Amino acid sequence: MTATRTKLIGIILALAALMALMGPAVNAKKLKAHGHVTPDTLSKTELTDYVIVTDISKVTFIGHSFLHHFKGRSRKVEGNSEGSFENPESFHGVVLIPVTTINGYAFGGKKKKLTHNIHANLEADKYPNITFKLDKVTPIKLDLESGKGRFQIEGELSVHDVTKTIYIPLDMELKNGFLHFKGKFEKLDMRDYGLQPDTLLAVFKVNPFLDIKLNIYEDLKPETDGAI
């Protein structure tokens, strides 16, 4: 009995060790690559070109119904920016989201019907892209040595052939050689863009307000000195 119990404990400990080893690898999978941005890059006074790393970036649109929230998420975000962090007001750029790359999620999983409704409601065949044109960056807090900062950005959001100016609080962190930006714009009124919210899965009434979450990684543009 003692030998059996000892063997069982050994198996449990081995499994625990294996799970511990696997955990960080899974969490770090998206960032197994390394970018080329350094604190020295951020300290340059000349304008520097950055490009969105599509493979690890995403934009999520969060909607709300009477009983449940739902999401439209794109993992095929494109775009670029140019500027100097010594003078953040110099930045300009663009974020582009192809509408057909937005997948719908509700009740814990991806939903084909919801995805179809998102594409149809946005008229993806006529207006294939959602774009955000960055016009102004206002620094709130910025530490170039640590690569961390907080900004308010202003720009023009174009959806369904309608363009409106919006303001987004944005946090920045230098992570694995990438610039990692996270921000959230709350309560975007779909009706301002000529959109009427459908019912969720043809059952639940949908609130006309959406939240937009940005999770963007940027690297040096390949032509930029220091990039590969």
Query: Does 29 have pLDDT greater than 60?
Result: no
Does 179 fall in a domain? yes
What three-state secondary structure class fits 211?
Answer: strand
Lowest mean pLDDT among 12-26, 32-46, 60-74, 142-156: 12-26
pLDDT score recorded for residue 25? 37
* Dist. CA 147–CA 42, nearest whole Å: 7
CATH code of the domain in which 72 resides: 2.40.128.110
Considering the domain boundaries, does residue 89 fall inside one?
A: yes
Higher pLDDT: 93 or 28? It is 93
pLDDT at 207 over 70: yes
Cα–Cα distance measured from residue 34 to residue 28, given in angstroms and rounded to the nearest whole number: 11
- pLDDT score recorded for residue 148: 97
Assigned domain for 194 exists: yes
Residue 104: is its pLDDT beyond 70?
yes
Asked whether residue 13 is domain-assigned, the answer is no
Mean pLDDT value of segment 35-56: 96
116-139: b or e for each residue (b if 16 or more CB lie within 10 Å)? ebbbebbebeeeeebbbbbeebee
Phi/psi at 187 (5° precision): 60, 55
Task: Please provide the DSSP assignment of 110-177 as one string.
Answer: E-HHHHHHHHHHTTTTTS-EEEEEEEEEEEEEEETTTTEEEEEEEEEEEETTEEEEEEEEEEEEEETT
CA distance 26 to 21: 9
In this structure, is residue 78 part of a structural domain? yes
At residue 124, does pLDDT exceed 50? Answer: yes
* Eight-class DSSP state of 190: G
Statement: residue 123 has pLDDT above 50: yes
Q: Is the pLDDT of residue 133 over 70?
A: yes
pTM for the whole structure: 0.82
Tally of structural domains, the chain:
1
Which residue, among 125, 28, 135, has the nearest Cα to 88 in the 3D structure? Answer: 135
Tens of pLDDT along 158-202?
A: 999 999 999 999 999 999 999 999 999 999 999 999 987 665 444
Residue 13 scores a pLDDT above 50:
no
**Domain range for residue 190?**
37-220
Structural domain includes residue 162: yes
The one-letter amino acid code at 143 reads D
Would residue 49 count as lying in a domain?
A: yes
Please, what sign has the CA dihedral across residues 139, 141, 143, 149? negative
Q: Does residue 184 lie within any of the structural domains?
A: yes
